[in-house]
């Protein structure tokens, strides 16, 4: 496929950029028309690439793009999953170029979604196009590109249930994750789940002058800090009652296998500009993000946050809190346990509200499966080294749902790199990874 890429490179850029220019931020109401535009554009691209049919399918939320090419019912079917929605680009002032005007700098494309997931899903369309045009396609291929991954895929599970027949396949193929490094390709064989909640702590029913009331009335910000602080103990364990009940401890053997992945703590710290890492006692950094659950405050706000000073004792304080879960932990159960726990630790002098946002379960895929083996062979050929099986810290909760609903295992061939800083300002995607990804995907079809 190398030659094909060389010949069509400029057209590929134009096509990918046309997707990246659309600010398809699923969490923002104002971007609803952009979601539709982006879905329409994907339909065009699928048809141009050689799909028999492609269409925008309405759901309760943002639409799903579905397309397919059926070669022969006797051949195996690959179901490609991707998502065309992106995270908000804020804080905008930290971007070196417009997040929705892609720019190539130093061998990488810079834009919101350059990697996650527009850049990665685009590789699948182009590998498919190559196989069709060269007459090499020996599989039935189906595509689903959803528009709600970044908000927890609230509609896709129902849509998949309603279209179970149409989605039947042998493997779900996904590129929405990272490799360990440029030199160390890896295939993700498990992902963490997610429980995401928003909490609100209310003290007095109005903002007060902190001089008149300070010292006598509980300040909801201080109380929220106390409560958040109590959620993780000194050993880095989450204190939510029952939180670890369903966590399966890995065997020493499995831990040893995962530890084979190369990891340099000093480089890791240097990359993040931190003096020390921090996490659960008794686990390595890779284990802390791979096989152990965790809790993070993703946002906090309350009181006066503007320029200068204001001596206010505010009425309310808020936080967004998420927990990463490991396979066998049930996202809904954890959300319920969190809510119960958070309310139980609320002192008398405040009121507490907990609002669940989205969530999803983690999952695992067997390394011995034919799909994993085909991917491994394809990546070995492209990168010259055998990929390492890894466990991913992030979450694609919908994959666990699809696995359950459709009865098909997902395979994660991700080509992102840590340096891409997805979800952050200056998200990027290396051209090298874009092109190697296309090659590896085309080879996957050869070996699967």
Scan residues 379-438 and list those touching a copy of itself (CB under 8 A): 392-395, 418, 421-425
Q: Give 85's DSSP letter.
A: -
**What's the closest the beta carbon of residue 119 comes to a copy of itself, in angstroms?**
15
For a copy of itself, the closer of residues 147 and 392 by Cβ is: 392
**What's the closest the beta carbon of residue 255 comes to a copy of itself, in angstroms?**
15
For a copy of itself, the closer of residues 20 and 417 by Cβ is: 417
* Burial (0-12, 13-18, 19+ Cβ within 10 Å), 76: middle
Q: Does 303 bind a copy of itself (CB under 8 A)?
A: yes
**Hey, what are 445's tokens?**
């079809």
**What's the closest the beta carbon of residue 340 comes to a copy of itself, in angstroms?**
20
Cα separations in angstroms, 27 against 40, 120, 227, 400: 19, 21, 27, 22
Nearest to 137 by CA among 280, 1, 322: 1
Q: Does 208 bind a copy of itself (CB under 8 A)?
A: yes
176 dihedral zone (left: phi>0; alpha: psi -120 to 50; beta):
alpha
* Calpha distance 432→108 (Å, rounded): 8
Q: Does 178 bind a copy of itself (CB under 8 A)?
A: yes
Could you tell me which stretch among 32-40, 129-137, 252-260, 295-303 binds a copy of itself (CB under 8 A)?
Answer: 295-303
- Could you say which of 18, 168, 181, 285 contacts a copy of itself (CB under 8 A)? 285
For a copy of itself, the closer of residues 219 and 376 by Cβ is: 219
Using CB under 8 A as the binding rule, the residues of this chain from 123 to 152 that contact a copy of itself are 150-152
Q: Does 298 bind a copy of itself (CB under 8 A)?
A: yes
* Beta-bridge partners for 321: 197, 297
For a copy of itself, the closer of residues 21 and 318 by Cβ is: 318
Using CB under 8 A as the binding rule, the residues of this chain from 213 to 242 that contact a copy of itself are 213-219, 221-222, 224-226, 228-230, 232
Please tell me whether residue 41 adopts helix, strand or coil conformation. Answer: helix
**Hey, what are 441's tokens?**
């995907």
* Calpha distance 164→143 (Å, rounded): 14
Q: Does 254 bind a copy of itself (CB under 8 A)?
A: no
**What's the closest the beta carbon of residue 236 comes to a copy of itself, in angstroms?**
8
Using CB under 8 A as the binding rule, the residues of this chain from 26 to 85 that contact a copy of itself are 27-29
Q: What angle do CA 214, 216, 220 make, to 5 degrees?
A: 70
Could you tell me which stretch among 46-54, 350-358, 376-384, 432-440 binds a copy of itself (CB under 8 A)?
Answer: 350-358
For a copy of itself, the closer of residues 256 and 297 by Cβ is: 297
* Calpha distance 328→337 (Å, rounded): 15
* Beta-bridge partners for 313: 208
For a copy of itself, the closer of residues 136 and 209 by Cβ is: 209
Please tell me whether residue 146 adopts helix, strand or coil conformation. Answer: strand
Write out the H or E segment, with its range, that includes residue 174. Answer: strand 171-174
- Could you say which of 210, 369, 380, 403 contacts a copy of itself (CB under 8 A)? 210
- Could you say which of 166, 248, 259, 274 contacts a copy of itself (CB under 8 A)? 274
By rule CB under 8 A, what count of residues binds a copy of itself? 98
Q: Are 299 and 319 in contact (CB under 8 A)?
A: yes
């Amino acid at each position: 496929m190398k030659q094909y890429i060389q010949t069509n490179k400029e057209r590929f850029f134009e096509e990918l950029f046309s997707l990246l220019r659309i600010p398809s931020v699923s969490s923002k109401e104002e971007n609803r028309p952009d979601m539709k535009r982006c879905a329409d554009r994907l339909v065009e691209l699928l048809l141009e690439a050689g799909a028999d049919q492609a269409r925008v399918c309405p759901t309760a939320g943002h639409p799903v793009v579905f397309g397919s090419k059926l070669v022969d019912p006797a051949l195996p079917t690959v179901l490609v999953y991707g998502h065309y929605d992106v995270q908000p680009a804020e804080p905008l002032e930290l971007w070196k170029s417009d997040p929705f005007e892609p720019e190539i700098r130093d061998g990488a494309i810079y834009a919101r979604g350059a990697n996650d997931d527009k850049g990665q899903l685009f590789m699948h369309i182009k590998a498919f196009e190559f196989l069709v045009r060269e007459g090499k396609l020996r599989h039935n291929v189906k595509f689903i590109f959803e528009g709600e991954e970044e908000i927890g895929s609230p509609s896709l599970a129902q849509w998949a249930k309603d279209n179970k027949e149409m989605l039947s396949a042998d493997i779900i193929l996904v590129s929405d994750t990272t490799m360990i490094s440029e030199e160390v390709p890896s295939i993700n064989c498990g992902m963490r789940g997610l429980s995401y909640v928003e909490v609100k702590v209310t003290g007095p029913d109005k903002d007060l002058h902190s001089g008149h009331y300070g010292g006598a009335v509980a300040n909801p910000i201080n109380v929220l800090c106390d409560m958040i602080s109590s959620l993780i103990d000194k050993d880095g364990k989450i204190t939510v009652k029952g939180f670890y009940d369903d966590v399966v401890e890995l065997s020493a053997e499995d831990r040893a296998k995962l530890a084979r992945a190369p990891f340099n703590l000093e480089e890791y710290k240097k990359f993040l500009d931190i003096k020390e890492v921090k996490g659960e006692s008794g686990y390595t950094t890779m284990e802390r993000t791979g096989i152990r659950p965790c809790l993070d405050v993703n946002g906090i706000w309350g009181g006066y946050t503007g320029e200068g000073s204001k001596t206010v004792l505010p009425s309310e304080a808020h936080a967004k809190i998420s927990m990463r879960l490991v396979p066998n932990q049930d996202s809904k159960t954890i959300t319920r346990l969190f809510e119960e726990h958070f309310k139980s630790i609320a002192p008398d002098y405040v009121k507490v509200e907990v609002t669940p946002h989205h969530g999803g379960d983690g999952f695992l895929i067997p390394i011995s499966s034919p799909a994993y083996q085909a991917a491994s062979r394809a990546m070995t050929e492209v990168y010259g080294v055998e990929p390492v099986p890894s466990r991913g810290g992030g979450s694609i909760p919908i994959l666990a749902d699809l696995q359950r609903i459709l009865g098909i295992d997902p395979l994660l061939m991700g080509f992102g790199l840590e340096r891409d800083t997805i979800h952050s300002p200056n998200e990027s995607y290396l051209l090298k990874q874009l092109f190697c990804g296309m090659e590896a995907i085309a080879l996957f079809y050869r070996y699967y």
